[in-house]
Structure 1
């Protein structure tokens, strides 16, 4: 498992930063779908639930890249 820095217009960015942005981009449609179907009404703390889903998406991305 070796993570390599990403060259973004001459600036080296840590790979976790790119993965965090990817997880955030995955979270946006998931949150809209959950809101559309009313799933967030059944959750005690919607912001905490969204953060947990974000962490799950980020963990999945890290595990997929680490393979």
Structure 2
């Protein structure tokens, strides 16, 4: 697909920056759900799992955009 810069109050932002922020927001929401149901207590290294989920979400956003 063709990406174009995002105009944010006269400042041009790269489309990848918007995708990074969107992935972070989605991952933050998923982390809240995981904390609510104590899902991260069952893994060896929770920050590593959160980082992997972030990469997966970012990859999905880039592929679908």
TM-score (norm 1): 0.90
The yes-or-no answer on 1:16 pairing with 2:19 is no
Gaps of 5+ in 1: none
TM-score (norm 2): 0.93
Gaps of 5+ in 2: none
Which residue of structure 2 aligns with residue 33 of structure 1? 33
The root-mean-square deviation of aligned C-alpha atoms, in Å, is 0.8
Deviation at 1:34, TM superposition (A): 0.6
Higher relative contact order (CA 8 A, sep 6+): 1
Aligned residues: 65
